[in-house]
Amino acid sequence: MSAFANDSHHDSTTVGRRKFIQTTALVAGAATLFPASLVAGARANDPVLPTKYGKVRGTTQSGVHTFKGIRYGADTSSRRFRPALPPEPWKDTRPALDYGASAPQTGDATRSEDCLFLNVWTPALGDGGKRPILFYIHGGAYSNGSGSSPLTDGTHVCTRGDVVVVSVNHRLNAFGYLYLAPFGGPDYAASGNVGQLDLVMALQWVQDHAAALGGDPNNVTVFGQSGGGAKIATLMAMPAAKGLFHKAWTMSGQQVTAMGHRAATQRAERYLEALHLTPADYKTLTTLPVDALLDATKVPDFSRVEDKSLHFCPVLDSTVLPRHPFYPDATPQSAGIPMVIGNTHDETRAFLGGIPGVHELQWEQLPELITLHQFVDLKADVVIETYRQLYPDYSPTEVFFAATTAGRSWRGAVIEAEERAKQAEAMPDAAATYVYQLDWPSPIRDGKLGASHGMDIPLVFGTTAAPRSPSGDSASARQMADVMSDTLLAFAKTGDPNHAGLPTWTPYTLEKRETMVFDEHSRLENDPRGGERELYSRVPFMQRGTY
C-alpha cells in the first residue's frame, strides 16, 4: 500500500461541503431529489448532463465541464457483500458539485456505504465528438482510497489532450472482497469480488453515457496506480468486463494471481472470529455497524507475521473471476488490448522510508531488514552480496530500497510483461505491451523519496502543484509531467504511446526486454536492472496475500 495511493486527503472546505450534501442525502434516503433551485450559486448556464437515471448539474472552469459525485449505483448498505443495484431514477436536476462519499475505510470521515459515485471532466457535452475516454481507478491496495484526490483531478489531462476523464469510487476491504460464498450460498457467490463488479458497473455507465459526455464508447482506456493497476489486471480476466474498455495502463500495480478459494475462506473465518461469530452466523454481518466491520479487518493476517491486518483482494471464485489474471499465462480474453506496464525505480522509499534509521543504515543492520521486507524467501546474505557486485557504489540504504523494490511489486510487473510478450509471440493478432520505469527522482524531502511509489500519479495527471504532491512543482517536475501526460494521451488515442517528445518506444519482447526509462532525458533501454531480475527469478513469485 502506498503512502500516496490512499486518495483520501481533502482540504477542510471540500470536506465541509461534501459532508453537507452527503448528510442531506442520507437523511432523505437513496431516492432523495436535489432541485437545482437548492444548489447554492447555481447559474442558468451551468452545464447539465442528462443521464439514464436523471439530470445532474456541474460547473465549467477553463473550458472544462466538471461533474463530481454522479451516482452510478444505488446505496449498497442493503446489499452488503452482494452485487450492487442501479440507482433509482430521479426527476429534478441534482447537483454534481462535490465528490461523493468514499467507501467505508479507516481514517476517512466522508465514508459511507452509499459510495458508488464517479466524477467526470469533459471539454464538451453531446457534441458528437469521439474523444478518447480515460477511466482512472485509484490506489490504496484493495482497502482504502477514493477517486477524490487533488492529485487525480482530471482538468489538466482533459484540456491538454481534448479527452474525457472519469474517476470512480467503489467498495473496498471487507465490504468489497470478503468471501462468504462457502457459507452464504448462491446469494453470496460473488461476495469476494463485488468491489470489482462495482467497477464493471461504472464502466457500463461510461458506455451508456459516452455520447452524452462527448466521448467514444469504443475507445476507453482504463488506467490506475498501485491497487488501481492491480484491479485493472483483474478486470482483464473478468468475463463481465469484456468489451467495456479497449486499452490498459498500469502504474506500480500488478495482480499475477488472485486469492484462492482456501485462502479466501480461511480469511473469512478469521474475520468472523474477530467479530465472535461462526460461519453459520454470516448473515449477522449484514446488520452490524460499519465501524465494527472495519475494526474486524485489523485482525492480523496469516501470510506473514508482520501483517497487522487482514489482506483483501479479488478471489478466484470460478464465477466472477474464473482464472488468475496472469497465471499460468496472460489471460486470452484481453490479448487484443494494448497495455502499458509501468513501475518506479525506488518503489519502497514511499512506505519504508519512515523506518527509524533507514537512511543511515550500516551493513551489519541490513540482513535483518532485507529478510523482513523483501517478501520473498531468498537469503539476505545472497541478496546483499549480489547487489554489492551489481552496484559497488551503493550504500546499505540504497541496497535496502533496491532489494525490497525488486523483491516485491516489481517482480510481478516483470512476470506480467513476460506473459504478454509470450502471448504476442504465439498470437499474431495480440496487441503490443509497452513497459516503462520511472527513474526521475523527486527533489523534495532532500531527495530521500527518489523515484518512489506514487511518483507517476502527478506526472501523468499534470498535478505537480497539487497539495501533498510527491513530485513537487519544480520546472523539472513540470517538464516530466508534460512528457508523461503526453505519453498517456498518445496511448489513449492510438494504443501506441510514442510521440514527438520521446525517443522511439518499441513493444516489450523476451529477447530485448525493451523498457522506456522516464527521466529528465528519457531513453529506451534493454533489460534495465537485468541482474536484479535474474536474482529474484531464482525463487518462485507468490503474490502477497493470495496464499
> Smallest Cα–Cα separation from 431: which of 248, 256, 257?
248
**Choice among 311, 324, 345, 453 that is catalytic:** 453
**Residue 250 — very low, low, confident or very high, per pLDDT cuts 50/70/90?**
very high
308 vs 237, higher pLDDT: 237
Q: Is the pLDDT of residue 450 over 70?
A: yes
Confidence at residue 297, expressed as pLDDT on a 0 to 100 scale: 96
Q: Is the pLDDT of residue 520 over 50?
A: yes
Give the DSSP letter of residue 374: S
The reply to whether 347 belongs to the active site is yes
Mean pLDDT for 285-295 is 97
As beta bridge partners, residue 60 has 65
Indicate the class that CATH gives domain 342-473+496-536: alpha beta
Instruction: Quote the pTM value.
Output: 0.91
**Choice among 167, 226, 442, 471 that is catalytic:** 226
Q: Is the pLDDT of residue 15 over 70?
A: no
Q: Is the pLDDT of residue 17 over 90?
A: no
List C-alpha distances in Å: 405 to 99, 154, 290, 495: 33, 29, 35, 28
pLDDT tens sequence across 78-93? 999 999 999 999 999 9
Please, is 155 exposed, middle or buried when counting C-beta atoms within 10 Å of its C-beta (0-12, 13-18, 19+)?
middle
**Choice among 112, 311, 324, 347 that is catalytic:** 347
The CATH architecture one would assign to domain 1-341+474-495 is 3-Layer(aba) Sandwich (3.40)
Domain residue ranges of the chain, discontinuous segments joined by +: 1-341+474-495, 342-473+496-536
* CATH topology identical between 1-341+474-495 and 342-473+496-536: yes
Confidence at residue 42, expressed as pLDDT on a 0 to 100 scale: 57
Q: Is the pLDDT of residue 235 over 60?
A: yes
**Residue 210 — very low, low, confident or very high, per pLDDT cuts 50/70/90?**
very high
Confidence at residue 107, expressed as pLDDT on a 0 to 100 scale: 84
Q: Can you tell me the distance from the alpha carbon of 220 to that of 231, in angstroms, rounded to the nearest whole number?
A: 16
Q: Is the pLDDT of residue 431 over 90?
A: yes
Confidence at residue 474, expressed as pLDDT on a 0 to 100 scale: 96
Q: Can you tell me the distance from the alpha carbon of 296 to that of 315, in angstroms, rounded to the nearest whole number?
A: 19
Confidence at residue 8, expressed as pLDDT on a 0 to 100 scale: 34
The reply to whether 453 belongs to the active site is yes
Q: Is the pLDDT of residue 13 over 70?
A: no
